[in-house]
């Protein structure tokens, strides 16, 4: 990354102020033979270790996915779900795998007693439920999908022996690791949840009940997870099927039954990883690949297709003119998502309509280049969808979309992997299966506890995720891979990073480090790293500005990472979110 790129990425640095402000950034990793980007350095090191041993991008991604579940346990792991986009460097074939969760067969809406009045709770502001049972505890989990997805990916595309790619995670769980400030902060912030469940308390809290401390004036506490190390060792020997049909499946089902949970051995055995057809969207001569179903990808594509009709480069980088257009296109894509998108198995979904250039032109025509439209409602993509259906008359909002982790890998053969994994909320359901170390997701949090809506809780329902792992081509050649954690803000982040890469020619780190905005309705949340005069100019155009301070504990604009291939030198350039320990490592 050049000094000029660093300058434009740090909007706050140019913003003269009467008070001191944060200026936080990271250097760009550069390598030729391979690279891994992940949300924790120990996980990135695990993937880089596999690349150095001769593993390919899938091997490294699988190793990193197992390792990140050990060292960033509040975001992902064996009890979570995952989504993967893979491009084969030799054939150019793109594969999209969906390892999302389904709700247990025994679940019923009446199991979740609504509290009186209009009390709201959870990440997605559903009606509050007695004991918060839809968000935490034994009724909240769905069937884990992450293990099956990484097992399927390795079976089809991996190079190294299975045991070898699981070993780094086993080592980290068995030997433990010194918690850094980010992990210590996450555990401390969620202490109320973790201390509720004895099996969880034993894993993440000290014998005194206190959270582990990071290094301050001396060494930090170590987090050792022997039960998880044993489970990973069994997986290394027997494969991931043991979670769905073997010893671990029985332990999960038995612990569920003992504690009033719903997942059975039959639910686990019925789980499947789905392969989704890749969709290739064009944007200013680039091709962006991802899966339309059960993801945030169609929303990103719609926003890009809308804004493609404007000259963003001519409007300038992060000027009020450009940001106004970026925000207006995003708002339309997001309100369309909340109105029209969902699980195609449960409702008609105009996936082809929302990503069509013709529909984008209709939505673009509603944008006034000089005035904001905070109250803009959804459009009608159905005339542009070949299915010719229509959306349900009423729904109570889209299923929620939660906290995640993301891994990006490119190897020497230019195989590319973008893999996003999640537990749902932070620390998922909060329950650890005794004897396994597996922390389970809280899939029910994605669904409306009020009966009668498309998004209501029900048996066998599959989540709609905001996950947006993508690979990017330029003239058919590999250009970049990226993705992000961060709930629905994942979509606005990936959209803006792609604009930064393509419209403005930024490097990967600069594209990620640049301040961002987010909207999915009337309010426009905007980083205070944008100069005050820029925010004021947007307010003058009618945007309902909500300023957001970015700190090491905040996540208002998601946390992307990605790897770019320099088209002239062939070198790999890795960028990561600057406010957390996220790390890119080259080999």
Domains in the chain: boundaries: 283-384
pLDDT band, residue 203 (cuts 50/70/90): very high
Asked if the model's pLDDT at residue 342 lies above 90, the reply is no
Task: Determine which of 129-138, 450-459, 514-523 has the lowest per-residue pLDDT on average.
Answer: 450-459
Give me the count of residues in the chain: 587
Asked if the model's pLDDT at residue 140 lies above 90, the reply is yes
CATH annotation of 283-384: 1.10.246.130
pLDDT in tens, 404-428: 899 999 999 999 999 999 999 999 9
Could you give the CA distance from residue 449 to residue 238 in angstroms, rounded to a whole number?
38
pLDDT band, residue 123 (cuts 50/70/90): confident
Q: Find the DSSP H helices in 124-225.
A: 146-157, 162-175, 181-189, 191-194, 198-204
Q: Give the pLDDT confidence score for residue 401 in this predicted structure.
A: 41
Element (H, E) at 94: strand 94-99
Q: Give the pLDDT confidence score for residue 104 in this predicted structure.
A: 97
Q: Could you tell me the pTM of the whole model?
A: 0.95
**280 Cα distance to chain centroid:** 20
Reduce the DSSP state of residue 473 to 3 states and report it. strand
Reduce the DSSP state of residue 407 to 3 states and report it. strand
Calculate mean pLDDT across residues 347-362.
95
> Could you say which of 101, 264, 404, 408 is catalytic?
404
Q: Give the pLDDT confidence score for residue 392 in this predicted structure.
A: 63
37 strand-pairing partners: 408, 584
Calculate mean pLDDT across residues 152-172.
98
404 counts as catalytic: yes
Q: Crossing angle for the helix pair 532-540 and 320-340, nearest 10 degrees? A: 60
Task: Kindly state the tokens that stand for 122.
Answer: 């959870």
487 in a labelled binding site:
yes
Write the DSSP string, 242-285.
Answer: HHHHSHHHHHHHHHHHHTT----HHHHHT--PEEEPEEEEEETT
Closest to 563 (Cα-Cα) out of 464, 415, 363, 365: 415
Mean residue pLDDT across the chain? 93
Could you give the CA distance from residue 8 to residue 30 in angstroms, rounded to a whole number?
20
Instruction: Count CB atoms within 10 A of the CB of residue 18.
Output: 4
Calculate mean pLDDT across residues 155-170.
98
368 strand-pairing partners: 371
């Amino acid at each position: 990354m050049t000094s000029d790129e660093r300058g434009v990425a740090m909007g706050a640095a140019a913003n003269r102020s009467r008070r001191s402000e944060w200026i936080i950034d990271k250097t760009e990793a550069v390598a030729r033979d391979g690279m891994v980007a992940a949300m924790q350095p120990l996980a990135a090191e695990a993937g880089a270790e596999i690349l150095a041993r001769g593993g390919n991008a899938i091997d490294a991604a699988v190793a990193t996915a197992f390792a990140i579940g050990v060292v960033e346990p509040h975001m992902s792991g064996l009890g979570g779900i995952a989504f993967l986009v893979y491009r084969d460097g030799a054939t150019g074939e793109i594969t999209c795998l969906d390892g999302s969760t389904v709700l247990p067969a025994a679940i019923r809406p009446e199991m979740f007693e609504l509290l009186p009045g209009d009390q709201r709770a959870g990440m997605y502001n559903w009606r509050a439920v007695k004991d918060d049972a839809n968000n935490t505890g034994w009724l909240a989990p769905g069937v884990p999908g992450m293990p099956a997805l990484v097992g399927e990916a390795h079976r089809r595309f991996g190079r190294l022996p299975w045991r070898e790619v699981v070993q780094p995670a086993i080592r980290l769980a068995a030997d433990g690791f010194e918690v850094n400030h980010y992990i210590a902060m996450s555990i401390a912030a969620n202490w109320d949840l973790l201390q509720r469940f004895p099996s969880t308390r034993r894993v993440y809290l000290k014998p005194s009940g206190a959270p582990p401390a990071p290094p301050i004036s001396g060494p930090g506490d170590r987090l050792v997870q022997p039960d998880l190390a044993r489970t990973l060792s069994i997986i290394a020997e027997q494969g991931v099927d043991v979670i769905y049909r073997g010893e671990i499946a029985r332990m999960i089902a038995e612990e569920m039954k003992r504690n009033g949970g719903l997942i059975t051995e039959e639910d686990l055995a019925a789980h499947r990883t789905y392969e989704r057809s890749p969709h290739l969207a064009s944007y200013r001569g680039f091709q962006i690949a991802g899966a339309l179903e059960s993801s945030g990808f169609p929303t990103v594509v719609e926003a890009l297709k809308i804004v493609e009709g404007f000259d963003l480069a001519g409007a300038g980088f992060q000027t009020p003119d450009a940001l106004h257009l970026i925000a207006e296109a995003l708002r339309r894509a997001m309100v369309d998502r909340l109105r029209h998108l969902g699980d195609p198995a449960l409702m008609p979904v105009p996936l082809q309509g929302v990503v069509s250039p013709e529909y984008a032109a209709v939505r673009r025509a509603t944008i006034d280049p000089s005035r904001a439209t905070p109250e803009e409602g959804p459009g009608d993509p159905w005339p542009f969808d070949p299915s010719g259906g229509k959306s349900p008359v009423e729904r109570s909002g889209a299923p929620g979309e939660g906290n995640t982790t993301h891994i990006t890998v490119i190897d020497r053969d230019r195989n590319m992997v973008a893999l996003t994994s999640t537990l749902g909320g932070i620390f998922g359901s909060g329950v650890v299966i005794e004897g396994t170390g597996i922390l389970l997701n809280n899939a029910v949090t994605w669904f409306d506890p009020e009966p009668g809506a498309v998004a209501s809780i029900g048996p066998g329902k599959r989540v709609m995720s905001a996950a947006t792992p993508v690979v990017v081509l330029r003239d058919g050649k590999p250009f970049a891979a990226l993705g992000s954690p961060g709930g629905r803000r994942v979509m606005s982040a990936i959209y803006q990073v792609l604009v930064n890469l393509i419209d403005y020619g930024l490097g990967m780190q600069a594209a990620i480090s640049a301040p961002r905005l987010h909207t999915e309705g009337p309010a426009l949340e905007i980083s205070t790293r944008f100069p005050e005069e820029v925010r004021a100019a947007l307010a003058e155009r009618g945007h309902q500005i909500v300023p957001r301070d970015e700190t090491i504990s905040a996540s208002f604009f998601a946390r992307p990472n990605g790897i770019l291939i320099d088209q002239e030198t062939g070198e790999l350039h890795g960028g990561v979110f600057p406010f957390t320990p996220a790390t890119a490592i080259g080999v």
